[in-house]
A and B are shown apart, each in its own frame.
Chain A
Amino acid sequence: MKEVLRESRHLVRAALLFLGGVLAFLFIRQALVPKGFGEYGHFRSGALADNRDRPPSFAGMAACEECHSEVVAARKGSRHARVRCEACHGPLAAHASDPTTGKPARPDPKTVCLVCHLKDVAKPKGFPAVDPAEHGDGESCGVCHKPHHPEVG
């Protein structure tokens, strides 16, 4: 019996060394792999929450319509009825969460209209677009067209 033990001592040593290596690997792996890695795939599941946590800048038209029902009524039936508020008025999430602050500036029809309605051959056929040198005698668009209901007459 003693003989066997003495002769297999080198095997035991190798086995212990191996075991130590495996434990060290498991320990280091545990320390280095971040929490949630592999939960949904080859990535850290917490990254989903990181991506979700940004505050929005644009409130969305539903938020605007909660208060500004008079504008909803004014736009009804017009060709601009489906243009969303923040397309012209800019990002207003701060104003939507606290209506007393960040009151939006009224866009100047002279510039804001041409963002969309400046003539370009690449625009879809039938889209109303003008060359300001030929249309409107240099007047501001707002003289004839109301931005919320742009049809004339």
Chain B
Amino acid sequence: MFVDRRGFLKEGGRLLVLSAAAAGALDSVLAGRPEEADAYRLADHWWGMIIDIEKCIGCGNCVRACKTENDVPTEPYYFRTWVERYHVPPKDLVHPEAEDHPEVDSPNGGYDGFKEKYRAGDGSKNFFVPKLCNHCAHSPCVQVCPVGATFESPDGVVLVDKEYCLGCRYCVQACPYGCRFIDPRTETVDKCSLCYHRITKGRTTACCETCPTGARTLGDLKDPRDPIHEFLRTHGVQILKPQMATGAKVYYNGLDGSVR
């Protein structure tokens, strides 16, 4: 068979174009249903949370609900969220320049609630502080992961890729808030996912769902109608360890300066 130059180029060009299209088609067939086929669009959300210290009663509902919802081992004592009780003694009148040294306890993370430990009327300050992953916008844990197994999702949630995690524990050390642990069953890291399987399907997180006083509220910072904007505007909120510039998105109302 004789092929002249013109014919060769024509056929070759046609083959090139066709194979590119076929490759594209094959790709989309292999990928199956596209990820954003349902109503949820990654680019439309930026998740955060408000925690109102003035409403937290330390009942531990959030701790129990989180463990149930996310299959967190009850023992050893790992938590995706936990509650701390702060006891700030009155100022030392001889050394008023001394820093506050609060006593903090969190028996079993608050899972079983709290037994009364401190008495009223001694001039001390007492309150509960629920804690969880702060879903930082500039997260130290994401920066240290050597394989890209922990990441900030496009909708502002710090997530773990369990299939890709090596269990190297760099991120456990890097988190300034102590929010990560190694799941002993899988030897991969685990942490609060802000109930990603719930919030992307129109539900609130398990901890917000079970909080009886409304001390926790999930908020979408990209949704102009979300009441989180009104709350942030009208309250003096604080994040944990602002000096670390983590861009934390868990906002605390009524947070005492002694909280670490």
Contacts and interface: CB of A to CB of B under 8 A. Distances in A.
B116 interface: yes
Contact of A119 (B116, B148, B203, B212): B116
A42 B148 contact: yes
A40 interface: yes
Interface in B194-223: 195-198, 200-201, 203-204, 206, 209-214
Contact of B58 (A55, A87, A88, A122): A122
Given A50-B163, A116-B57, A122-B86, A40 B42 contact: yes
A52 B153 CA distance: 12
A88 B56 CA distance: 16
B88 to A, nearest CB: 11
Contacts, number: 133
Given A43-B148, A121-B116, A56 B197 contact: yes
Interface residues of B, number: 55
Interface in A10-32: none
Nearest to A48: B153
Given A44-B164, A122-B87, A116 B206 contact: no
Given A57-B206, A121-B119, A115 B65 contact: no
A69 B224 CA distance: 31
A54 B151 contact: no
Given A43-B161, A58-B69, A122-B128, A115 B54 contact: no
Interface string B97-140: 00000000000000001101011100000111000000000000
A7 interface: no
Interface of chain A, main secondary structure: loop
B85 interface: yes
A51 B165 CA distance: 14
Nearest to B164: A44
Contact of A84 (B118, B153, B162, B210): B210
Contacts of A40: 42, 153-154
B182 interface: no
Given A56-B198, A91-B69, A49 B209 contact: no
Interface of B: 35, 42, 54-61, 65, 68-70, 85-87, 113-114, 116, 118-120, 126-128, 148-154, 159-164, 193, 195-198, 200-201, 203-204, 206, 209-214
21 contacts: A44-B161, A47-B163, A47-B164, A48-B35, A51-B159, A51-B160, A51-B196, A52-B196, A52-B201, A54-B197, A55-B197, A56-B203, A58-B206, A87-B212, A115-B61, A116-B57, A122-B58, A124-B54, A124-B55, A124-B56, A127-B213
Interface of A: 34, 37, 40-45, 47-58, 60-61, 82-84, 86-88, 91, 115-116, 118-124, 127, 129
The 8 closest A-B pairs by CB, nearest first: A47-B161, A43-B151, A122-B126, A54-B197, A42-B148, A51-B196, A121-B120, A87-B212
